[in-house]
Amino acid sequence: MGEEGMTSDAKNTASPKANPKLTLLPLIALIFYEVSGGPFGVEDSVRAGGGPLLSLLGFLIFPLFWSIPEALITAELATSFPENGGYVLWISSAFGPFWGFQEGFWKWFSGVMDNALYPVLFLDYLKHSLPIFNRTIARIPALLTITASLTYLNYRGLHIVGFSAVLLACFSLFPFLVMAVLSIPRIRPGQWAVVDFKKVNWRGYFNSMFWNLNYWDKVSTLAGEIEDPSRTFPKALLGAVILVVSSYLIPLLAGTGALKSDPARWTDGYFAEVGMLIGGVWLKWWIQAAAAMSNMGLFEAEMSSDAFQLLGMSEMGMLPSIFASRSKFGTPTISILCSATGVIFLSWMTFQEILEFLNFLYSFGMLLEFAAFIRLRIKKPDLHRPYKVPLQTFGVTLLCLPPTLLLVLVMCLASVKTFLVSGAVILLGFLLYPTVIHAKNRKWAHFTTEQSVGHSDNDVEGHPIVLEQHQEVADEASVSLLSDVSSLKTEPVSEIASSGVSKLE
């Protein structure tokens, strides 16, 4: 379709972009909270692993085969497509808008499920000292109040969320450093090797490992809000990998090495008890306060990514333009409210149910991302890649193989209930796409259609959607994770006349 002028509505929604962009340190903190938020919730890995050994080995080995490959792929694709929407753009460019829409729906739904965990985790920590939160009459109002308060903070601005995440990360991790220091005289290394294979719950173990080490790609949905993404993204991802792995291993080494406790006691919130046994009541309360602060950061980071993903899909024409409307703080108001509503409806589920459901949907999305990554290497070798994984196409295929096998394993271990629920969500996504197309054709809602200047050989049903920045980049011109990429600065997408985001018609 031909190029159209920008509508007044589009100008109004674009104006808040003058708000401050995210810089390196806040981005590291946001990635940290997208993936981890600290050791809160890793206790289940000790119980499911039948002792400390499998838990410690998992957080040493899984990052090599899962976290690092996913972070590298995210760095390459997020810098190649530096717009809000992230992986929706990647999939659309590789496989067309239908699969881009499915990716967006699956990831948004799994993200909302993930966000429903954090108020639950918060109350799980509090109930150790305030048993009233075990009762429904207190638990439901608390969940609603927490969700509403944190949603409002998210509404106030992404840059506020970013700097808040930095402060929250410092506060949340410091008590574990204190606990680690206090535990040193009591450490018995032999206790780290304890494992009872008869008590190993492999499904729970792999789900716990997977959940605590995934979502590296989530922050790509904020790419349009980041200052100089081609430089900032790779450095932020490297810093976050180191921070996440350290935040898991140090507390686990301290707690399991200093205490000879039954693995069955290692459930959600148990680190508060570990703190009391090592340092006293004051450390228990400090860890509980840190858990509260950490869950704030987790909620805010996830909410931001989910909301800006909907905004990006709206800007591509995949959703009605109302999802791209911004507040005076530059935040996508309707998208935030939509994500918050989903959190409220899902927060009644148990921790393990939410964990398994979101892992299954997330696995589907990641398999599609790995396929898109390899396809774009083959199909678009000249795509401008400010950061490029320093491997040829065969090498990156091998890089994707271990995490792909892990994804398939996690999905195979799912329960029948998870298969049924996830299957229903996937089917819903298949039905929503033609519904959205029909709504647009019938003009039941306003859809963004400007800047439709690109073209794609993945035109599906006449609805091209792709972000292309064709610039000659030799396949062997790979750059290291922290190398200077100043010579490969990406031109702003809005200034590229011959390419851009082709909208869903």
Residue 501: inside a domain: no
DSSP conformation class of 66: I
Residue 405: inside a domain: yes
Residue 502: inside a domain: no
Cα(309)–Cα(222) distance, integer angstroms:
7
Total domain count for the chain? 1
Strand partners, 51: none
CA 62 from centre of chain: 17
Residue 205: inside a domain: yes
Residue 349: inside a domain: yes
Amino acid code (one letter) for 438: H
Q: What is the CATH number of the domain that holds 319?
A: 1.20.1740.10
Cα–Cα distance list, 127 to 74, 120, 132, 291, 307 (Å): 38, 11, 7, 12, 30
Residue 79: inside a domain: yes
Tens digits of pLDDT across the chain (505 residues)? 444 444 444 444 444 445 677 888 888 988 898 888 889 878 889 999 999 999 999 999 989 888 889 999 999 999 999 888 889 999 999 999 999 999 999 888 888 877 777 777 777 666 666 767 666 676 677 777 777 777 777 776 676 777 788 888 899 899 999 999 999 999 999 999 999 998 898 888 888 888 788 888 888 888 778 888 888 888 999 999 999 999 999 999 999 999 988 888 898 778 989 999 999 999 998 998 888 788 778 888 888 888 888 888 888 888 888 888 887 777 777 878 877 777 776 666 666 677 778 788 888 899 999 999 999 999 999 999 998 999 998 999 999 999 999 889 888 888 888 888 888 989 999 999 999 998 888 888 888 764 433 333 333 333 344 433 333 333 332 333 333 333 333 344 333 333 333 434 4
DSSP conformation class of 3: -
Q: Say if residues 251 and 181 touch (Cβ distance below 8 Å).
A: no
Cα(198)–Cα(77) distance, integer angstroms:
43
Residue 240: inside a domain: yes
Q: Is 392 helix (H, G, I), strand (E, B) or coil?
A: coil
Residue 66: inside a domain: yes
Cα(140)–Cα(162) distance, integer angstroms:
28
Q: Which domain holds residue 304?
A: 8-495
